[in-house]
Amino acid sequence: MSPGRDGLAPADIPAHIAIIMDGNGRWAQERGLPRTRGHEEGVASVRDVVAGCGDLGVRQLTLYAFSTENWTRPRPELRFLWSLLRRFLVREREELKKNGIRFRTIGVIEELPKYVVEEIRKTEDATASLSGTTLCLALNYGSKREITDAVRALARRVRAGELNPDEITADLIEAHLYTAGMPPLDLLIRTASEQRLSNFLLWQASYAELYFSPVYWPDFRRDHLRRAVHAYARRERRFGGLKPVE
């Protein structure tokens, strides 16, 4: 097969990449800066990595932006994060449209501040018809809550007599997850040397390739993304099977 983008065959490009953006606070603290500065610098990484995914032909990029556990952070930091997200959505909306990027979210969005939800919905609506890379932000997201919500939805269908418990399959559970209809997750990246999933896409990551980078998120750019994708391309994915005998 002839090389495609960046010297990789099309089959070697992950359709769906997810990133746990870690290290903003440590990046700032090591420079004697407030943690909020790390979050600000992290936005530049988001812009560059989204562009890098477009260059590579990645269909979807999902970023772990705010977890259900992040509510325990100090209130001033939370207020700053919501203000930063709102500014990002307002400022980047036209750029997303210009580059054909579709914007989506997963998580319990309705629990976020109203002014943030309004900008999320505006950006989703403005980009709904675009067909380039999908940028998905996981906001107020937790995988255990996602799976619990799916189980509750199925239980309600069983109680209503719409569904027999014996008819519940893995595919049916997936159809009730927040990520229903999205491409299967191929590559999950975590920055800042941490090597855990932190309640992120636990079901979806069951056969994803994992890549851990020592780089703090504010320093992570499209070149680092390329290295992760090239590492992914060198791996042999067997999904529990065996390598075919030559």
Residues annotated as catalytic (active site), given as ranges: 22, 70
Q: Give the span between the Cα atoms of 43 and 63, in whole angstroms.
A: 11
**Do residues 27 and 34 make contact, with C-beta atoms less than 8 angstroms apart?**
no
